[in-house]
Chains A and B, each alone.
Chain A
Amino acid sequence: MTGITLLTSALILLVVGAILTALLSKSRLACGLVAFVTVLIASIWVTMTAWHALTVAPVKGTVLLTIASLNSSLVFTVDGLSAIFLLVTSLVAVCTTLYSIRYMRIYQRYSLVRYYPLLLLFFASVISVVSVHNMLFFLVFWEFMTLTSYVLVVFETDNAAAQRAGLRYFIATHIATVCMLLATVVLYARVGSFDFAALQTAMGGLMATSPALVHLLLGLFVIGFATKAGILPFGFWLPDAYPAAPTGASAAFAGTMTKLGVYGIVRVFTMFLPMSHSVTVWGIIIAVIGTISLFVAALTALQQSDSRRLISFNIISSVGYMWLAVGTGLALLRISPPLATVALLAGLFHIVNGACYGSLLFLTAGASRYRTGTCDLEKAGGLMHVMPVTAAAAIVASLSIAGVPPFSGFSSKWLIFQSSIVGGFEIPLLVFLAIVAIFISAVVLACFLRFLGTLFLGKLRVSPEVERREVPVTMVVPQVVIGIFCILFGVLPVVAMEPLHRAVSGMLPEGYSPTFASLFGSSPLTINLNISGASSGAWGAIGVLIAFAGCLVLAYLISRMGGAQTRKVPMWLCGEEHPFAEVRYPVHSFLLPFNRLFANIYPSIPMPRLPRPSAILRALNIDNWLYYPGLRLGERIIQAIRVTHAGVPQLYMLWVIVGAALAVIVLFAM
């Protein structure tokens, strides 16, 4: 089996796994194990396909399905850009499924039939979305992804808040899908095909005759993708919906689905549009939208006290960085090929890193919830003393998202800042966006220091009935694996940048992008950014780390110089005796003056309280009208057949005789 066959088999395997887990849902452990094994095998296959596509050549499969009336056929195609997303999806899928096996124990009251099958189908649809080059099937799989994730969001059936969040998500994403569908249909009407290549022709033709319509269509696509990516204000649903799902699924969403909004933008703007002035304009618009979103989301995150909500807002802000980078790349596409390549590469790199630290953050928050039963930063803290590995993973993920060197977020953010500051020499606006982005980087750091400081560091404070030990090993391993990637991409960014450069040059016209060595220097350890002949920036993680380690040794030697002794003492409270609870500094007053300044930055849209159409809710609750009736019908049929199996040997003999007689009669009658 090679290339695309592997991908197709992986998809089939996932669907089979979904059916199996649905059948096994009574046995919680078996269900989880089957899901994990399925996802593991499928991910290995997908990884092999993607790696082949990235290192050798794009792979294109055969026609699997043809819809003649719509002139469309389903062909799986994996090019460099798809491959990047496939690799990320595989990693996240394996880790989150493994994590879920034990994590789902806290949902004893709920049936798993609404979890694993949908999770597997969700992964299957994500894989399909990025490997089709046909807008019709793209939208079909996109919709499939939305529906499966919707059911996962409303997993807690008796939680009214989760149901409300799910409804919001459902409505918001469907408006987005309608936007994209509308744009696609207009283009289809022009050329009579849904193929990406054909749509590009349609765009080109329209551009000449009616440019206003083209911009309208692009606007519809941008709204569609912005909604999925969680870009504010279209992503208003995200901070409610992500925390509502079980954390394993939230981590999967953060690692895969959110990033597809960026994937869509890159696809549409590099594949559908000829390189023209309008790409520059749209690039700037996308960069500005991204920057506004990252600014608002990060400052709102500072004010959250629920850890999963805090992470959700930071996911939005991190997607904002990706949009900033991709927008910068598109804006510079016509002006400066080297800069555009760097910016697009930075965007893709940030997607990879964002998937890693985004899902890792949810996993650590979930681990703390698994033990303490709460996500409220006020109610638990100091978990480092009982959960050291989870705490270490949380520190790695937090420092990554905040972009502290040498963790992964820094290398991609460094590229983003470089490309937008140097790009500012061409388009001045980009410098302002870069400054906002650098400032927000510090805000994100502040936000995660609060997260770490209250939940993991400091004095242990949990309710007395909590079991005080590390989470089970199947929940620790995924965190460690993703954490290793967070460190690897930070220390050796070239490892990831080299394949990403191949993906970027693959999606741009032939010979457009400069070679990797001419852009980033030939050293595998140091990036020497070279845009216009001279080096304009440098980042050598290993060199800096060695120097930093040297400084650290020096600092250690200084601290040991006096040979000071250590003695344990109680905390000093100016000589008075207080229990810890009395003097604890509450979370909400931590950044009070700063938060007051930005109190109203996140406009809360008053949702009109519609009289909730109960018919729709009932229709959306597939359990009630499809699953349970189906189950009952099956049970009734089985009951009817059971009567014949009484376990009395004479009865079976009688059946055999009756059967033989019938057979003889039939034979003679013929």
Chain B
Amino acid sequence: MTFVINLGLALLGGPLLAGVVRKMVKARVHSRQGPPIIQPFYDLFKLLGKEDLESSPSLVLRYAPMVALAAILAAALLTPMGLRPPLGGYGDMIVFAYFITIAAVMIILAGLVSASPYSMMGAGREIMLHLAVEPVLIICLVIAAIKSGSLLMWDMAAWNYVHGLSINTPSMIIGGVALLLALQAQLGKIPFDIVEAETEIMGGPLIELSGPKLALFEWAFFARQIVYASVLAAIFIPWGTGFALPWNIAAHLLKITVIIVLVGLIDVVNPRLRVDQAMAYFFGVIVVALVGMVLALLGT
């Protein structure tokens, strides 16, 4: 059953929450009506039926979108979403981090294979941004691993449920804040939507993609929001402890909704940064996270 919950949350919750953010946050800030909440689904289904235009006949390009979506879904199966993750016995945080990386790699490969100058530029940016942001996720998870004494993500979440957020464990607070600061880039939102940058390099790695391929990538991005928000919610944000079955999932849903709304709010009121500015910013975040790790190693 947890398989269904995690997959369903990633596949359906992602576009739905994105719709909520568009209607409730973006449109509100822009003072306009906004599209219906299920507009992302309309978009996806429309794309799935559209013609698939191939500019370079390559197997890599054909399968990259599927692998990207599958990798995100596999990461979702490893993520605690209120319950013990279904694949928890087969993989830990390192496996999780690698699945996230595979999804990023597929975006990069799609860009490289398309061979358009815009897509190459976007692929290069994705590599650089991923290299700058990935360490934050790793360091934050290592902080949780040090506290819980295990690299299994469910053990980390369980530790969080038991101990919660407390002034006695500043390392976890710092870890949570650092992860929140990195979330914006991990989700590809402004000010860090440098990779796609529609107004500048016209979608970057995705420029040559259309129809179902584009739909799969878009869907993977929606699912990615849920996965990242779940990591932050389950491992670093307390509350929702010890509830009975439907309520722990409800608490988790509430937490990730708040996180994604916050991300959407930042997205709508900021301009885009350049890639070198973004890297400089993330080196700052890495330093903060490292401070948190030192504290964790000191036992606080």
Residues of A within 8 A of B (CB): 384, 403-405, 410, 414, 417-418, 421-422, 424-425, 428, 431-432, 434-435, 438-439, 442-443, 445-446, 449, 452-453, 457-459, 526, 528, 532, 534-540, 543-544, 547-548, 551-552, 554-556, 558-574, 580, 583-585, 589-594, 596-597
Contact = CB atoms under 8 A, between A and B. Distances in A.
B69 A457 contact: no
A594 B128 contact: yes
A425 B146 contact: yes
Interface residues of B, number: 82
Contact of A585 (B54, B60, B121, B208): B121
A548 B74 contact: yes
A592 B91 CA distance: 35
Given A418-B151, A538-B92, A593-B276, A562 B212 contact: yes
Contacts of A580: 115
6 contacts: A422-B151, A438-B97, A554-B7, A569-B53, A593-B128, A594-B127
Contacts of A563: 49
Given A458-B113, A561-B48, A540 B94 contact: no
A574 B201 CA distance: 11
B238 interface: no
Interface of B: 7, 45, 47-58, 60, 65-67, 69-71, 73-74, 77, 86-92, 94-95, 97-99, 101-102, 105, 108-109, 112-117, 120-121, 123-124, 127-128, 130-131, 134-135, 138-139, 142, 145-146, 149-152, 155, 202, 207-208, 211-213, 215-216, 219, 275-276, 279, 290, 293, 297
Contact of B91 (A422, A544, A562): A544
A417 B94 contact: yes
Q: Is chain B's binding surface mostly helix, strand, loop or mixed?
A: helix
A425 B135 CA distance: 20
Given A526-B90, A538-B90, A565 B51 contact: yes
B60 A457 contact: yes
B69 A535 contact: no
Contacts, number: 237
Contacts of B293: 431-432, 435
Nearest to B102: A404
B142 A431 contact: yes
A459 B66 contact: no
Contacts of A538: 88-92, 152
B73 A539 contact: no
Given A439-B135, A539-B95, A571-B208, A544 B146 contact: no
Contact of A555 (B53, B69, B115): B69
Contacts of A536: 149-152, 155
B48 A558 contact: yes
Contacts of B89: 526, 528, 538, 540, 543
Given A404-B105, A590-B124, A567 B116 contact: no
Contact of A421 (B53, B101, B113, B151): B151
A307 to B, nearest CB: 16
A405 B95 CA distance: 8
Contacts of A551: 7, 69-71, 73-74, 77
Contacts of A443: 131
A536 B148 CA distance: 10
A591 B123 CA distance: 9
Nearest to B202: A574
B108 A435 contact: no
A564 B98 CA distance: 31
A537 B142 CA distance: 13
